[in-house]
């Protein structure tokens, strides 16, 4: 152990003593300067710990939200049975550390057929009280995504891979308004037919900056115009075509034998258009 007594017993030359003194003085000066300039020391309570936990290895997470319109263009055998549709899309994704890869969730719903018809309210009342019934053919899809895209730059192209499933369903409903369609509250409704299909594919597009916020205190960092396209393969599934609900035997029920059920692969080409909101982070 180094002590005053050990110094008094050791033989120290004047030159070495002078050099050591100079080094010690330099160390004390550097330490004093560091204490004076350290930002954590200002206004700190004397009983508070003087060191902060090391967060250099903590993950730096940031992300973005994208939403807008989506189209559904049938491909292959599906094209012979259904028409082009449209709907809405929402994407949530985040970067990890400084990697240019985003991982997220892509949600979409669009219709490929819609029919409205006037029918009797019931078999008892007959045609004296007609109601408007709307039947829609829809696709609800959920995909996990991995996207390669820079987080900076006015123009940010990207490429992505997707894997998930499609839920194809046909639903009829009666609304309490006289406008038709799906504008009012649902009085009665039923899912006439549905099926699931695994889905996966690729996508590409571009985000073009239209607004930027440099204030780090704001939650929204920038807003981009979003343009993209997705090609999503789907396994075989059963589904109904537009206007395929007919009670042919008049028993008041839709039997499976009366339904025009089609089966094919469920592949869609999906153009997307909307906005991307880049959220604030710790970059």
- Which percentage of the chain shows pLDDT scores above 90? 46
> What residues contact 248, with CB distance under 8 A and at least 6 apart?
258
Q: Are residues 80 and 217 in the same domain?
A: yes
Backbone dihedral region for residue 136 (phi beyond 0: left; psi -120 to 50: alpha; all else: beta): beta
Domain ranges, residue 37: 14-41
Q: Please, are residues 73 and 268 in contact by the beta-carbon 8 Å criterion?
A: yes
Instruction: Evaluate if residue 42 carries a pLDDT over 50.
Output: no
Q: Are residues 272 and 137 in the same domain?
A: yes
DSSP 11: -
Report if pTM > 0.75.
Answer: no
Q: Are residues 29 and 101 in the same domain?
A: no
Model confidence band, residue 33 (pLDDT cutoffs 50, 70, 90): very low
CATH of the domain at 228: 2.40.160.20
Residue 155, number of CB atoms within 10 A of its CB: 10
> What residues contact 225, with CB distance under 8 A and at least 6 apart?
207, 208, 210, 275, 276
54 within a domain of the structure (yes/no): no
Q: Are residues 32 and 152 in the same domain?
A: no
> What's the domain count of the chain?
2
For residues 204-232, average pLDDT: 91
């Amino acid at each position: 152990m180094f002590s005053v007594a050990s110094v008094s017993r050791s033989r120290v030359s004047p030159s070495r003593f002078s050099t050591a003194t100079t080094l010690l003085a330099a160390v004390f000066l550097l330490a004093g300067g560091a204490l004076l300039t350290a930002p954590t020391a200002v206004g700190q309570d004397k009983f508070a710990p003087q060191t902060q936990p090391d967060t250099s290895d903590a993950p730096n997470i940031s992300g973005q939200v994208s939403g807008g319109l989506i189209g559904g263009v049938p491909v292959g055998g599906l094209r012979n049975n259904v028409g082009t549709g449209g709907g809405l899309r929402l994407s949530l994704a985040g970067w990890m550390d400084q990697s240019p890869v985003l991982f997220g969730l892509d949600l979409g719903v669009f219709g490929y057929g819609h029919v409205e018809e006037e029918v009797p309210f019931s078999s008892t009342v007959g045609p004296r009280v007609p109601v408007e019934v709307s039947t829609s053919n829809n696709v609800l899809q959920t995909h996990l995504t991995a996207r390669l895209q820079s987080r900076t730059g006015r123009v940010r192209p990207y490429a992505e891979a997707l894997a998930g499933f499609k839920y194809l369903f046909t639903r009829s409903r009666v609304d309490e308004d006289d406008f038709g369609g799906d504008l009012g509250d649902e009085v009665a409704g039923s899912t006439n037919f549905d099926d699931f299909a695994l889905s996966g594919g690729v996508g590409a597009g571009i985000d073009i900056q239209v607004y930027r916020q440099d204030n780090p205190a704001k939650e929204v960092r920038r807003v981009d115009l979003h343009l993209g396209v997705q090609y999503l393969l789907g396994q075989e599934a059963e589904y109904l075509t537009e206007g395929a609900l007919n009670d042919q035997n008049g028993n008041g029920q839709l039997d499976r034998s009366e339904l025009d059920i089609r089966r094919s692969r469920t592949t869609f080409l999906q153009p997307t258009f909307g906005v991307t909101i880049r959220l604030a982070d710790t970059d």
